[in-house]
Structures are given as C-alpha cells and as structure tokens.
Amino acid sequence: MSESLDPSVAIKQYHQALIVQFKNQLTIYKDELDEDDTAFTQLLDALCEDINTADGEVPTGQKFISTMVARYPQLTPRLPRDLFWYFGGDCLHYVEDKELENFQALEEAFYALASTTPITEQSYARLRESFFAATPINK
C-alpha cells in the first residue's frame, strides 16, 4: 500500500494535469493565436513546468488567465473553470457566485476526506467528478 499524499499535493497534481491537457488542446487552435505572442506561450510553458510558478508577486497562473481572457476570449471557454478557482485572485472575477460556492464546497469536502482516508493521485479527480457530475476537462 502506498503512502497517502498530502491533500495540497494531490490538488496541485490535478491542476497541473489540466494545464498540460489545455496546452495540448490549444495546438488545434494555433491559427487563432498571434504568431508573435511569445509572452503568452511562455506563460503557458512555465505553468506546464510548475503550476505554482510566479513572476515577482503575481502568480503566473493569474497572469496567464488575465491575458487569455483579454487577448483570446474565443478560446477562454476551452480553459477548465477549475483553473480559475485554483489560481484565485483576479481570476475569481470571471467565476459566477454559484461556481465559487461549488468549488469551495469541493475543497472543504476534499480536506474532510483527507482527514479520514488515504489520499491518492486520483482522489481529488474522483471527488471532483462526483461533485460536479462531469468530466474534469471542459469539452
């Protein structure tokens, strides 16, 4: 039997996988991206390396989402809503109140689960799916 993961590590791994999957999906829409927008692609690359990276005091994830919403609103629906919650800060302005309540309840339920059950890499994804009765990635 493997050791239980720290709940925050499991949450990070889940969201790290989301950003990598988003980047892979984005190649389909490369024609919609500005060819010279290297700053945007560099932000995405940095997040794929480490989702918790920061440039100064502003987390890279917040900067990425703000850039995405401003420059590529047509692609924003492809970005999993989970990432808006995960990055927090200004990203939460793009999340409806009901969604905020749902993500807060999910987080509380996950930490409650972690206090009584060993956490695996799949624990957060499974709970999230049962909570939202949906796939973890936006379609």
Residue 139 inside a domain? The answer is: no
Residue 122 inside a domain? The answer is: yes
Backbone angles phi, psi at 135, to 5 degrees: -75, 155
Distance (Å) of CA 11 to CA 45, 51, 56, 84: 20, 11, 23, 14
Q: Model pTM?
A: 0.87
Question: How big is the chain by its Cα radius of gyration, in Å?
Answer: 15
Please check the confidence at residue 125 and state whether its pLDDT lies above 50. yes
Structure tokens at 37: 């927008």
Residue 138 inside a domain? The answer is: no
Domain count, the chain: 1
Residue 97 inside a domain? The answer is: yes
Q: Give the domain range for residue 101.
A: 7-132
52: buried, middle or exposed (CB in 10 Å: 19+, 13-18, 0-12)?
middle
Residue 98 inside a domain? The answer is: yes
pLDDT of residue 138: 43
Task: Report residue 134's pLDDT band, with 50, 70 and 90 as the boundaries.
Answer: low
Structure tokens at 92: 């939460």
Residue 94 inside a domain? The answer is: yes
pLDDT of residue 132: 82
Residue 137 inside a domain? The answer is: no
